[in-house]
Amino acid sequence: MAFWENKQLREMSDTEWESLCDGCGLCCLHKLEDVETSEVEFTCVKCRYLSQERRCDVYENRVEFVEGCLDIRDLDPTYYRWLPESCAYRRIHEQRPLPKWHPLIAGSSHLMEEGGYA
């Protein structure tokens, strides 16, 4: 059984936690919340530190450099709805399996990129 299938997010090591990120970059897009419906919409505006390779150029210090940037590990799980439906952290919290294209399942990011999930 894979570690993500038998551990809660809070029980994971740093290495396990980081390996769950598929690198899609969607968490680095600015989002809007409808105050009436609480629906979250992703914009096409990205954080200035998100590289072309969909990685944060200031990852280790991101919460200091970017106002409003949140460390997902420190978030109350009720805020995981601000993450994309495909996000491993959100899926595990919601007790849903990782998608077949996820790099931990597929062995690389090829299927993810080919399927347009990045």
By residue count, the chain amounts to: 118
pLDDT digit string, tens, across residues 43-92: 999 999 999 988 899 999 999 999 888 889 988 988 899 999 999 999 99
Q: What is the pTM of this model?
A: 0.87
Q: How far is CA 101 from CA 9, 61, 114, in A?
A: 20, 29, 9
Delimit the domains of the chain by residue range: 25-79, 85-118
| pLDDT of residue 115 exceeding 80 | no
Angle in degrees, CA 25, 118, 35, rounded to 5: 55
pLDDT digit string, tens, across residues 10-27: 999 999 999 999 989 999
Extract the runs of DSSP E, i.e. beta strands, from 1-118: 29-33, 40-46
Which is it for the CA torsion 3, 93, 31, 75, positive or negative? negative
